[in-house]
Structure 1
Amino acid sequence: MSREQILNNAQIVLADEVVRGCVVLENGRIRDISTTLSQSPAAEDMQGDFLMPGFIELHTDNLERYMNPRPGVDWPSSAAVLAHDAQLVSSGITTVFDALSIGDVSPKQTRLAQLPKMIEAIGQGVRDGLTRSDHLLHLRCEVSHELTLQMFEELVDHELVRLVSVMDHTPGQRQFVKIEKYREYYQGKYHLSDAEMEAFIHKQTTNAAKYSEEFRKSIVGMCQSKGIALASHDDATADHVHESAAAGMTIAEFPTTREAADLSHKLGLNVLMGAPNIVRGGSHSGNIAAAELARHGVLDILSSDYYPSSLLQAVHGLATMEQGYSLPRAVSTVSLAPATAVGLHDRGEIAVGKRADLIQVKDLGKQYIVKQVFSQGQRVY
């Protein structure tokens, strides 16, 4: 039996404009969009709030915070996934690519131990129908780690894997061109002594020379053969970008320079930056600011990275800042653009036939807040 829903009296954020009217849903899809108000007594009044497409998050390691809420504390993984999922959906995220690291560049080596537990817990939550966001996997491959290729080969055929990024966090290049920033980040995060830090830098540099090139080529080749979307990570130079483009990558994650971002955008790679970068006004690593890229029209996708609610905050920031984006374009950076970049053509915009993944958003002037979230027409928040 078909089930009709009418979301009435909304400011509907379409791909290229905002219109006042109603959206009709049926069986989890968008059946109709009208610029007149419904007179049906069954229609739900959106009270003039924005109706936006559900957000699509391509890169978040937010789950790790729930797995290890304090140093030395391992939380039950199934409970961690559900708590993580609840935070995502309350932030308007209806599709998430949980970013899981293969190859650990931390001196404590905690991520590798967590990886199997996180994958199993995410998969179990999806199979049991307990997650409210649509969960997929983004494998982040650290090519300078000795176990990366072996682990990738074991995971690449997992049914939820839809995105792979190729990373190299070797000191002195890409994200950490400035060694002092590398020291500041790792010593501050892991409380290393100067001697421990020097040993860590030596190990990472040695491993990169031994593994990075071979592992990168192998991983890219497997993704190409299996049709898995590819992303570069921390490209800094024109050579980096040309290498990424030649590999068929569709996303440039966190380019560190204006040169790399401009060229990535020109060559058809979607430039992805962190929404916290917009909210905070700059990069914690001292690299290019996302707002600067937006002002030059080369910011394509936003990711919440480590702070889920930053997506909506950043949409507000992009839409209200000087020389920023229109509201439809700002919303596209967290919906249509990421969906298109990874081949999810059934969602990402409010359009007839698309999934009824929708967010009711109230404008408080200085910020937006999420009032309701629908996933395939079902209210999930």
Structure 2
Amino acid sequence: MQIKDVLLAPGSGAFFYDDQAAIRAGASQDGFTYVGEPLTPGFTSIRVPASSLSMGLVLADDTVVWGDMMSVQYSGAGGRDPLFDTKQISDLTSRVIVPRLLDVDASRYLDACAHVFEPYECNRLPLAIEYGVSQALLRTAAHLRRRTMAEVVCAEFDLPLPTRGIPIYCQSGDAKEVNVDKMILKAVDVLPHGLINSWQKFGVDGQTFMEFVKWVATRTRQIGRPGYQPVLHFDVYGWIGLEIGLEPQRIADFICRVADTVPGFTLNIESPADHGSTQAQVENYAKIVSILNNRGSGARIVVDERCNTLEDIRLFAEAKAAHLVQIKTPDVGSMADTARAVLICKANKVGAYVGGSCTETDLSAQASVHVSVATQADMMLAKPGMGFDEAFSIVGNEQNRLLAMLNRRRAQDEKI
């Protein structure tokens, strides 16, 4: 089956691109904006509206299937690709990617991805391009096979059809208290993220952060339904290391103190520190994980920064340098690599969290659900946006629709 034409349509991401370096350096907020000069190359201001680029593949039967390209919120930080530039990405896509797409068998997903994503001028393509094009190719294969995207992933990677859903992790944005209440009332599996991305939110010796953790646990017991016990997951954007220091023992001691304030809850701490490079991150996170394991702590380390590509994920998983690896889908690139990343984590008995960014779109979020369920990841992010309700609806409803279709398929197969 040939692709006979390609459409490109500029669009919006569901949140904003933020200059992490400027925010870490102390940029203050004025309403929804940040005051000060940007520090990361490509940013004209500290907060920039997120943009995206949709690609539509026109098939021989005139069906058009879509995928969306974009970057993550903190583009250019932690070894990531630079800020998304719609004009540059559109130009490269038109010159390089479109001719390759017109020359593939779209029914063969992994083969098509391998051909389209070959290096250009000896360099890997921008990961945003891989991400969006791989979504469109996955939808194409699903259309041609009259199957769901999850079934295509299962077939391509020789996986059994899944029978259960994946826990959903929701993020609060800055409207933390209101969104925590919403999450508890909707009984989400993992909450609340917390956006602990500045010194003001972390506090002296982490006291502001610790008080927030205790409040979330208390609030869960106050308004949650009987027996509701979510995983508490907080992204601290490296602030434990920035405030407490980078020595693994001190970081582990602090995390244990936080865990002790919320007995009975599993506590995930994402990005406790940024050690400056992938190798340093692997070595130090492995030490922190080992200390927590030896203490029998109820806390788990989640890696994000410095763990971007499939090869990065392999390094962390094989070194047991995290309890959970965030597979940040736009940073990984191809959706095929997201599937491979989950399988690498599972093979190394490390948790696989299919994440992403608030800057994504409904289409990229839905495709992520299919890959997450097909590979049976340990949890997946409710995305896009920072409003909680919308993201939880997009991801949760897509998962429920998918499971209904898979159950029907399984019942049909049993009759044959």
- TM class by shorter-chain length? 0.3 to 0.5
TM-score (norm 1): 0.38
TM-score (norm 2): 0.35
Q: Which has more helix, going by share of residues? A: 2
Higher relative contact order (CA 8 A, sep 6+): 1
Q: Which has more strand, going by share of residues? A: 1
